[in-house]
Amino acid sequence: MNLEYFIARRLIRGKDHKINISAPIIKIAIVAIAIGLVMMLIAIATGLGLKYKIREKVAAFNGHIQIYNYDNNASEVSVVPVSKTQDFYPEFKGIDGIAHVQAVASKGGIIRTAETFEGIIAKGVGPDYNWEVFEEFIVSGSVPDYSKKLNTEVLLSRLMANRLQLQTGDSFFAFFLKDDDASQTPNQRKFEIVGLYDSGFEEFDGSYVFVDIRHIQRMNKWEENQIGNFEVFLNDFDDIEEKTNEIYGQTVSILDTQNIKTKYYKIFEWIGLFDFNIALIIGIMIIVGGINMITALLVLILERTPMIGVLKALGSSNWSIRKIFLINAAYLIGIGLLWGNIIGLGLISLQDKFRFLKFPNPEEYYIDYIPVYISPLTVLLLNVGVLFLCLLMLLIPSRSIARISPVKAIRFE
C-alpha cells in the first residue's frame, strides 16, 4: 500500500512523465466537481430553507396540532366551546416532544371605517399565547399585552391596515354577529392598533386580527374557562403525524385533533415537491461530475500506459494498479469538493446574513427573500455521498487497465 501511495503521489504531481497532456482535462474535471457541489449545496439550502420557513409561518398562526370540539368541524370560527379544564393544559405532560399548548378562540366580524370595510377573523388569545413565533413578523409597534385586565389592544396585519388606511395607534370599530340570533343588533367593539405584522401569507394576513380572548368569550356568552380550541406546538415538526395520533389517543372522546399538514394539505403537497427537485438536481450534478471524472481517468490511464506496463512487468496485479488511479481520482475529487464547499457554503452564509437574493413574485412563495438552511450533517453526508458515488462510477473505466499488455505498454509512446 505504501508503494501504491508513493506512485499515486508521483502520478498526481506528474513527476514520472515528460508530457502531461491530461492536466487541462483534470482541471476541467475538478472544476466540474466544484461547480456541481456548489449547485447541490445551493439547491439543498434554498429548498430546505423555503420549506422550513413556510412551515414555520403556517404553524405560527395555527400551531402544529389543533384540539377542538367535534361539533366545530374544524371551522375557522369557534362555535361550540371547549373547557380549559383538561389534563393536557397548560402542560401536556403525558407525551414527550410537546413544546407548548395555548388556548384560543375565533369569531368572524367586519371592520368598518369611514371609507371602507373588511371582513376579518378575530383570533382571541390570552396570556398563554406564544408571541415568540411572531417576533420576526412585527413591522410596527409591539404585540398586545393580555396578561392583566381586559383591554382593547389588537395586532393587525400591514396588508389589512393598508386596505383600511389605518396605522399603529389608530382606533377602529368592529362588528360581530350574534351566533344565537343573527337578526339582532351585532356586537360592536372598539379596538386600538398597538402593532402591525406582515407574515407574507396573504391568506392569513388578509383575515386574522389578534384580540383579547375575553372579548370572544363575552360575545359568545361563554364561561371564563371556555375557549374555542387548543393549539399545540411540537419540538420537532417531523414527528407531527405520530404526535397527532398520540394526542388523539390521550384526549377525551368529545375532542378531535387535526394537524396543519391535513388542514393545509395543498400547501404541504406543494412544498413536498421541493424534495423531488433537490434529489433531481443532486442526481444530475453527480452524473455530470462523474462523467467528467471518467473522462479524466481514461485520459490519465492512456497517458500513463508505459508506467502501467512497467508495473505489470514488475509483478503488480491489475487491482493494485487500479487502486493507484482510484487514489489519484479520490484526491482530485477531494480538491473539487474542497473548493465546492468553500464557494457554496460561502454563498449560503452571505445569503443568510444579507438576504440579497429576492423573489421577483414574493406573493407566490409567501416570503420576499430566498431563505437558506443547511445542517453540518447534511454537508458531511453530501460530500461523502458524492465522493463514494463518483469513485463507484470510476470502477468500470478503471477495468481498462486489465486489457493493457505489458510488452505493448512499455513500447507505447
- Report, as an integer, the average pLDDT of 233-245: 95
Sign of the C-alpha dihedral computed for residues 45, 51, 52 and 56 taken in this order: positive
Per-residue confidence (pLDDT) for residue 20, from 0 to 100:
57
Q: Give which of 400, 379, 381, 382 is closest to 326, Cα–Cα.
A: 400
Per-residue confidence (pLDDT) for residue 314, from 0 to 100:
72
- Report, as an integer, the average pLDDT of 341-354: 96
Per-residue CA distances from 141 to 132, 137, 208, 274, 361 (Å): 15, 11, 17, 35, 27
Per residue in 166-204, pLDDT tens?
999 999 999 998 765 555 678 899 999 999 999 989 889
Per-residue confidence (pLDDT) for residue 19, from 0 to 100:
45
Whether the pLDDT of residue 11 is over 70: the answer is no
Give the confidence band of 135 by pLDDT, cuts at 50, 70, 90.
Answer: confident
Chain-wide mean pLDDT for the chain?
A: 87
Whether the pLDDT of residue 406 is over 90: the answer is no
Per residue in 246-297, pLDDT tens?
999 999 888 999 999 999 999 999 998 888 999 999 999 999 888 888 888 8
CA distance 88 to 66: 13
Whether the pLDDT of residue 61 is over 90: the answer is yes
- Report, as an integer, the average pLDDT of 301-330: 79
Per-residue confidence (pLDDT) for residue 396, from 0 to 100:
82
Per-residue confidence (pLDDT) for residue 183, from 0 to 100:
59
Cell numbers for 159, please give them: 396588508
CA distance 126 to 17: 79
Backbone phi and psi for residue 334, each to the nearest 5 degrees, phi listed first: -60, -40
**Where do the structural domains in the chain lie, given as residue ranges?**
2-57+268-410, 82-227
Per-residue confidence (pLDDT) for residue 18, from 0 to 100:
45
- Report, as an integer, the average pLDDT of 324-351: 92
Per-residue confidence (pLDDT) for residue 9, from 0 to 100:
58
Per residue in 63-94, pLDDT tens?
999 999 887 655 678 888 999 999 999 899 88
- Report, as an integer, the average pLDDT of 19-30: 75
Residues in CB range of 25: below 8 A, 6 or more apart: 295, 296, 299
Q: Which stretches within 250-373 are classed as H helix? A: 260-263, 265-303, 305-313, 318-354, 362-365
SS3 83: strand
Reported residue count of the chain is 413
Per-residue confidence (pLDDT) for residue 312, from 0 to 100:
75
Q: Give which of 79, 53, 82, 55 is closest to 67, Cα–Cα.
A: 82
Specify the range with the lowest mean pLDDT, choosing from 53-62, 288-297, 373-382: 288-297
Give the CB-side neighbour count of residue 162, counting CA atoms within 13 A: 9
First-to-last CA distance in the chain? 28
CA distance 9 to 2: 11
Backbone phi and psi for residue 80, each to the nearest 5 degrees, phi listed first: -100, 125
Return the percentage of the chain with pLDDT > 70, whole number: 90
- Report, as an integer, the average pLDDT of 120-129: 95
CB contact at 8 A, 246 and 226: no
Whether the pLDDT of residue 338 is over 90: the answer is yes
Angle, in degrees to the nearest 10, between helices 305-313 and 2-13: 160
**Whole-prediction pTM:** 0.84
